[in-house]
Amino acid sequence: MKILRFFLKSFCLFLLFLVIACGGCYLYVKSAPKITINSANHIILYDQNQMEYFKGSESKEWVSLDEISPYLIQSTIYTEDKHFYQHFGFDFLRIGKAFLTNLKNRSMDQGASTITQQYAKNLFLDFEKTWKRKWDEAWYTLRIEANYSKDEILEGYLNTINYGHGKYGVENASKFYFGKDAKDLSLAEASLLAAIPKAPSNYSPLSHYEEAKNRQKMVLFQLSSNGIISEEEAENAFQEELVILGAEENEILSSIHYFQDAVMQELNDIPTIPKKYSDVGGLKIYTTLDYMAQSILEKNIKDSFPYDSTLETAAVVMNPSTGGILALIGGRDYNTSSYNRAMSSMRQVGSTMKPYLYYAALENGFTASSSFISEKTTFSLEDGKTYSPVNYNDKYGEKPISMGTAIAYSENIYAVKTHTFLGYDSLIQVARRVGITEKLESVPSLPLGTNEINILHMAAGYSAFANLGYKVTPHFITKVLDGEDHVLYQNDENKELVLNPSLVFILNQLLTATYDPLYIDYNYPTAISLSSKLKHTYALKSGTTSGDNWNIGFNKNIVCAVWVGYDDNQDLTTSDYKYAQNIWYQTVEEIEEDLPETDGWYEKPKNVVAMLVDPISGKPLEDPSKNKKLMYYLKGTEPKETDPTFDEIVYEENG
């Protein structure tokens, strides 16, 4: 009890000091210049064509208090700050209760922020949990209270608060969730809407309906216990069936919120951007978004999956010349899950790892015709163990095959033989050079994609192939201006040559084998179904594990990476493997629809020669009437009939 009395006495003294200090501060801020709130934290996002597609906390439809349903106003006040009209920014009684509750429970679960404090935080501050931020919040709260009436503060709060799904302001939220103006909200609708701002991602009636209803019940209880409505009215409102629309009249892309979140994440990492946007009168952020590409990608994803499927996806469309992200989707439905898989998830990449290996091979003396025997093989490892990879569908040619054939069929045996021949570090070094930073294990299975890599990072890595050897940094922001159009940040879009352009050209040609009918032999190219669908030329590689399916393809104009899988890592079914490929080819072809068929592909470097060979073996043609393909080599490395296979040199016993 002595300890409790000590804490109570200390708290009372602290409270008295706080009251006196706040009174003095109030007099000071009352005489200071009036703080401006109508431009605070205004963030406007533009796409690459300077079309405005988002306005941060600046509501697009500002409404006055008399244009807002009284039910919504009352629900907000009695849920968030019932003494709003009595205090001058701080509810000390509530602070005291929260302090005692947290002390008793030995936690920090209870908060006591007033509407004015929340408004100050939303307008002027970041969300770091530091003492400095708490002090700044208190200071801004006093300045707002000293310079604006309670009605002005409440009106501003309701017009700028986050109601989830990128909807700021009560009018925008009312139209999004219920398709009506804020003044027309019923008690049931208003109480459900007022439940959201406490934790928009947790209380959205679209993605967490039960949690939203539980929170609504608490809102209605507050109204009834304070005599605003009767218990019967509260119960009827709770039981009322509501139609939640989750749509907008102007059909703004729902997936654009994934892109928007990525922009804000990048913005927070730029050191030249002030944390308090009010210091610079708001921000104008020019982004790399191609609105048309985002629209195409969203449509193709929505049209691909069965409605009741729990499959998820993530996709990135990138400009390989600059590293600018043209389109990005982090999941099938932002309203259901705002988790950005394209930015945050790590998945096994399967055979999309192999192009890094085959570039390393070309750099170490291999050519498009270099061959290994396609047959079941057991590898003896240094630790005395063995490793026996298998090809997809357990198909083997039982003969030497070229690198082009290995790429066409995504041959695992050829890949592991190449990996072992070069040494495990060769693949890792190439991956590091193009920007893959994830942990890569030096094991024989690495080229089969057993490690997990982020989707955006894989797209960036493939960009080094698409731009003939230059490493680029993926980014979403090109320029940031303040409220007076002063440049605060400019992305220089630097790139670094990390690969040999001539060897990359040869690799890119080889990656067209994945849908080339000339490679039909003992197996079929992995994307042969696309041979008649693609009007433009792309390098393409798929990747498959038990729980992941990838398609990454490119030309010099775009890189497009698509992943499909389940969030809980459950195995894919046979029918699940079609979605990534369909989304990929439909997206790239629609984006390039108006371009000539030859646009986007590469001119042959001067030190590269073309030669007609048998595509399966990679050997020069003896019989011109047989199957033949034009393949590319550095001058002086063209194949000869007498060339031995690597298998004959290295592997004498195969299991």
User: Domain of 201: which CATH number?
Assistant: 1.10.3810.10
Judge whether residue 252 has pLDDT over 70.
no
State the Cα–Cα distance between residues 598 and 611, nearest whole angstrom. 21
Calpha distance 27→5 (Å, rounded): 33
Print the domain residue range for 27.
2-32+63-252
Same-domain pairing of 396 and 488: yes
Share of the chain above pLDDT 90, in %: 61
- How much is the mean pLDDT over the chain? 86
Q: Residue 280: pLDDT above 60? A: no
Q: Which residues, listed in sequence order, are joined to residue 563 by a DSSP beta bridge?
A: 314, 550
> Per-residue pLDDT averaged across 301-318, rounded?
94
What is the distance between the alpha carbons of residues 187 and 548, in angstroms, rounded to a whole number?
46
Longest dimension (CA), the chain: 102
CB 374 within 8 A of CB 521: no
Assess whether pLDDT exceeds 80 at residue 482.
Answer: yes
Question: Which amino acid makes up residue 291?
Answer: Y
Helix orientation angle between 412-422 and 354-363, rounded to the nearest 10 degrees: 50
Whether 171 is covered by a domain: the verdict is yes
Residues 334 and 236 placed together within one structural domain of the fold: no
- Checking if the pLDDT of 40 tops 60, the result is no
Is the distance from CB of 205 to CB of 174 less than 8 angstroms?
Answer: no
Same domain? 112 vs 172: yes
Q: What is the pLDDT of residue 110?
A: 43
Which has more pLDDT, 654 or 212?
Answer: 212
Q: Is the dihedral of CA 100, 154, 222, 190 positive or negative?
A: negative
Q: Poorest-confidence range of 51-55, 356-360, 571-575?
A: 51-55
Least confident window among 21-35, 291-305, 325-339: 21-35
**455 and 380 within one domain:** yes
As a whole number, mean pLDDT of residues 16-43 equals 62
Taking residues 66-86, report their average pLDDT.
88
Condensed to tens digits (0 to 9), the pLDDT of residues 631-654 reads: 999 999 999 877 776 655 444 434
Q: Based on the domain organization, do 425 and 534 belong to the same domain?
A: yes
Helix axes 70-80 and 115-124, enclosed angle (nearest 10): 90
C-alpha–C-alpha distance, residues 211 and 217, integer Å: 10
Give a yes or no: residue 41 inside a domain.
no
Q: Residue 288 domain-assigned? A: no
* Within a domain: 47: no
431-458 tens-digit pLDDT: 999 999 999 999 999 999 999 999 999 9
What's residue 433's pLDDT?
Answer: 98
By mean pLDDT, which of 28-32, 146-150, 507-511, 548-552 is the weakest?
A: 28-32
Identity of the highest mean pLDDT range in 36-50, 236-250, 574-588: 574-588
Does position 278 have pLDDT exceeding 70, yes or no? no
Reduce the DSSP state of residue 449 to 3 states and report it: coil
Could you tell me the pTM of the whole model? 0.77
Contact 328, 263 (CB under 8 A): no
Instruction: Give a yes or no: residue 467 inside a domain.
Output: yes
Q: Give residue 140's pLDDT.
A: 73
Mean pLDDT of the 490-511 span: 96
Residue 259 lies in a domain: no
Q: Which whole number is the average pLDDT over 224-235?
A: 92
Give tens-digit pLDDT for 130-165: 445 565 666 677 777 777 888 888 898 898 888 887
Same domain, 238 and 305: no
pLDDT tops 60 at residue 233: yes
Q: What is the DSSP string of 232-296?
A: HHHHHHHH---------TT---TTHHHHHHHHHHHHHT-TTS-S-GGGGT-EEEEE---HHHHHH
pLDDT digits (tens, 9 = 90+) for 521-551: 999 999 999 999 999 999 999 999 999 999 9
Can you spell out the DSSP letters for 585-625? HHHHHHHTTTS-TTTT--PPPTTEEEEEE-TTT-PBPSSTT
Tokens of 406: 């290995």
Token pair belonging to 209: 């309906």
DSSP-assigned beta bridge partners for residue 283: 43, 482
Residue 273 lies in a domain: no
Lowest mean pLDDT among 43-47, 89-93, 425-429: 89-93
Q: For 242-263, what is the mean pLDDT?
A: 77
Identify the pLDDT of residue 15.
65
Question: Is 131 part of any domain?
Answer: yes
Residues 242 and 302 both lie in one domain? no
Cα distance between residue 13 and residue 58, in whole Å = 40
Question: What is the per-residue burial (b if ≥16 Cβ within 10 Å, else e) of 487-502?
Answer: ebbebeeebeeebbeb
Give the count of domains, the chain: 2
Tens of pLDDT, residues 371-422: 999 999 999 888 888 999 999 889 999 999 999 999 999 999 999 999 999 9
CA-CA distance, 263 to 276, in Å (whole number)? 17
- Contact (Cβ atoms closer than 8 angstroms) between residue 353 and residue 441: no
pLDDT for residue 343 = 95
Query: Both 322 and 246 in a single domain?
Result: no
Q: What Rg value do the Cα atoms of the chain yield, rounded?
A: 31
CA distance linking residue 589 with residue 595, whole number of Å: 10
DSSP H or E run through 327: strand 325-329
Domain shared by 565 and 460, yes or no: yes
pLDDT at 508 over 80: yes
What integer pLDDT is reported at residue 644 of this predicted model?
Answer: 73
Residues 548 and 443 in one domain: yes
Return the pLDDT at 129. 46
Q: Residue 398 has what pLDDT? A: 95
Least-confidence region, from 14-18, 115-119, 361-365: 14-18
* Whether the predicted pLDDT of 266 surpasses 60: yes
Output the pLDDT for position 18.
64
Co-location of 301 and 247 in the same domain = no
pLDDT given for residue 502 in this prediction: 98
The residues annotated with a catalytic role in the active site are 80, 351
Over residues 226-241, the mean pLDDT reads: 92
Label the pairing between strands 43-46 and 283-287: parallel
